[in-house]
């Protein structure tokens, strides 16, 4: 890789690592796994740096890489012991509101299937369009719409149960 390309990649990586890490965290619910996923995604980007369209496709490719890494991690045999949250396992908000709402949402995200979680995170956290989300996940636009809708319904059901208690 040329020096200029190396400098461009370093600048991109510095700017993107935080967002990639947060996206990975919302998908897996574990900061250590999210850190690993973000770093692995940057490695994938680095390997293809010379071939990537840096004007339009870089952000989309970065999201695709981090989503792919998180999904790959979840398929590894030693990761299967990690169970997703059951609705009864979610923390209950108390009257004093000491539990942060973010923790409720993160716990609820862990309770929905990976495909729905990926669509919800990419659409509503990463703020990708339906088309960009479809491209990142390698699925159709209709599938993005239905998975996002189902994921949001599941989140509302889980969060509604917790806040009405």
Domain boundaries, given as residue ranges, for the chain: 1-82, 85-165
> For 7-36, what is the mean pLDDT?
92
Tell me the mean pLDDT in the region 134-163. Answer: 89
CATH class of 85-165: mainly alpha
pLDDT band at 1 (very low <50, low <70, confident <90, very high): low
- The pLDDT value recorded for residue 97 is 53
CA 110/CA 50 separation, integer angstroms: 36
Q: Rounded to whole angstroms, how far apart are CA atoms 11 and 45? A: 13
Residue 5: which of 64, 48, 44 has the closest Cα? 48
> Does the pLDDT at position 71 exceed 80?
yes
Average pLDDT of the segment spanning 57-80:
80
- Mean pLDDT of the chain, nearest integer: 82
pLDDT tier at 86 (50, 70, 90 boundaries)? very low
* pLDDT higher than 70, residue 139: yes
Q: Is pLDDT above 80 for 52?
A: yes
Q: What are the backbone dihedrals phi and psi of residue 138, each rounded to the nearest 5 degrees, phi first?
A: 70, 35
Portion of the chain with pLDDT greater than 90, in percent = 49
| Residue 131: CA count within 13 A, CB half-sphere | 1
Q: Is the pLDDT of residue 17 over 80?
A: yes
The residue that leads in pLDDT, 14 or 88, is: 14
Nearest Cα to Cα of residue 117 among 93, 137, 91:
137
% residues pLDDT > 70 (the chain): 80
7-21, 35-49, 128-142, 148-162: lowest mean pLDDT where?
Answer: 148-162
Residues contacting residue 96 through CB under 8 Å, at least 6 positions apart: none
Q: Which CATH fold would you assign to the domain 1-82?
A: Rna Polymerase Sigma Factor; Chain: A (1.10.1740)
């Amino acid at each position: 890789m040329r020096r200029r390309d190396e400098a461009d990649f370093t600048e991109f990586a510095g700017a993107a690592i935080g967002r990639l890490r947060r996206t990975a965290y919302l998908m897996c619910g574990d900061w250590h796994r999210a850190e690993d996923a973000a770093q692995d995604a940057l490695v994938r980007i680095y390997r293809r740096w010379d071939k990537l369209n840096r004007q339009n496709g870089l952000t989309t490719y970065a999201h695709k890489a981090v989503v792919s890494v998180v999904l790959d991690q979840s398929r590894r045999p030693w990761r299967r012991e990690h169970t997703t949250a059951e609705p009864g396992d979610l923390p209950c908000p108390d009257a004093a509101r000491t539990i942060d709402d973010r923790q409720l949402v993160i716990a609820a995200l862990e309770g929905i299937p990976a495909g729905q979680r990926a669509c919800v995170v990419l659409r509503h956290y990463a703020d990708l369009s339906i088309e960009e989300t479809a491209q990142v996940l390698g699925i159709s636009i209709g599938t993005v719409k239905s998975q996002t809708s189902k994921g949001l319904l599941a989140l509302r059901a889980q969060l509604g149960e917790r806040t009405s208690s």
